[in-house]
Copies of this chain bind each other. A is one copy, B any other.
């Protein structure tokens, strides 16, 4: 069992620093049954902070598996639209969104990739209004972790499950600062540090970012009018939130047509309930033209075929190798953690907030400036202590940003 005190601190952090709950606000609380203890504390802290309603959506991974095992072909390729549409309506009207993430990284390991792809595509299509509300910063939202047994077993494969869960909780409390005396204050100090690097990158106005390392030489053009973001987000409903806890990254919008070179993943990722590892892809004029993986290539290929934008980038992010997550030396098989352990890129949908004046541009103008549209948004890790990062100016001048994925002094 996790420490009740730390669990409550994590709940407080989630409501205040994560969601930045506005008193009188409704929030949706999405969690798996295995996270119930934390979910109840979050509900309690949200009501204490003045929430008008906490609307719980409690999921169950086993019910999801039953669908794969017993659903007809029609069922697998179908996702209802009325529920995500209703949720999107609530988000667009300012309802906050707090998700507890504890997914079993290999839940779907025994399911045929084709079934997973058809199902994921239907779900992504159906939930597009929801993801647009999220990526469009319509409301304050936040994802926080919880240590489920199924997840803990992946992170600590050699340990008995109870011990693995306990260790994962300890890691979560440390990484989220919930083990500190005042996690809200600690998070605020962390925000200041990240903002320092963010401000410098925004001032530099690089035209492209170049990654070099083993198996990687990738130049990622940045979108015209790109904005570096990190740790906090000002939502359209007025709330200031930290959408991810933990988060260490500074990220922005790549130009969807200006990405060239080769890039290799530095950590495995959990994709649609399966593990994909040893990814190596080639980009030409923004698009992946060749993809390989040592594990899970089928899932990756299905992902790339989702739609036109699935082969292009929607995000690049810089994360120092000395981040607390990276320092654990663990692979978490959970994007919330692994993406904050290393520099990464994301295939698919770009975030509105990372392009200046996005709302006032026509779809054509946005695209011309480099934004990408897709039903997917999948991060994967390309940083390590052997990877260097440079900023390229429009006239080709190269400035070191990171060496061995540590910030270069002054950058």
User: B58 contacts A59, CB within 8 Å?
Assistant: yes
**Chain A stretch 65-84: residues in CB contact (< 8 A) with chain B:** 66-67, 69-72, 74-75, 78-80, 82-83
**Chain A stretch 51-101: residues in CB contact (< 8 A) with chain B:** 51-60, 62-63, 66-67, 69-72, 74-75, 78-80, 82-83, 85-86, 89-90, 93
Q: CB-CB < 8 A to A83: which residues of B?
A: 55, 86, 90
User: B53 contacts A78, CB within 8 Å?
Assistant: yes
User: A60 contacts B82, CB within 8 Å?
Assistant: no
Q: CB-CB < 8 A to A26: which residues of B?
A: 80
User: CA–CA, A229 to B74, complex, Å?
Assistant: 35
A36-44, A266-274, A336-344: which one contacts chain B? A36-44
Given A58-B60, A63-B40, A63-B54, A47 and B74 contact (CB-CB distance below 8 Å) = no
Closest chain B CB from A31 CB (angstroms): 10
User: B72 contacts A47, CB within 8 Å?
Assistant: yes
Each complex incorporates copies of this chain amounting to 2
User: A74 contacts B52, CB within 8 Å?
Assistant: yes
User: B63 contacts A39, CB within 8 Å?
Assistant: yes
**Chain B residue, CB-CB nearest to A32:** B58
Q: CB-CB < 8 A to A51: which residues of B?
A: 71, 75
User: CA–CA, A72 to B54, complex, Å?
Assistant: 12
A236 proximal to B (CB < 8 A):
no
Mark A110-150 against chain B: 1 for CB-CB distance below 8 A, else 0. Answer: 00000000000000000000000000000000000000000
User: CA–CA, A222 to B79, complex, Å?
Assistant: 45
User: CA–CA, A59 to B58, complex, Å?
Assistant: 7
**Chain B residue, CB-CB nearest to A29:** B63
A50 proximal to B (CB < 8 A):
yes
A24 proximal to B (CB < 8 A):
yes
Given A56-B60, A58-B60, A60-B40, A70 and B48 contact (CB-CB distance below 8 Å) = yes
User: A60 contacts B86, CB within 8 Å?
Assistant: no
User: CA–CA, A40 to B51, complex, Å?
Assistant: 32
Closest chain B CB from A40 CB (angstroms): 6
**CB-defined A-B contacts under 8 Å, sample of 14:** A36-B62, A40-B60, A43-B63, A43-B67, A47-B71, A53-B78, A53-B79, A54-B66, A55-B83, A80-B90, A82-B86, A82-B90, A82-B93, A83-B90
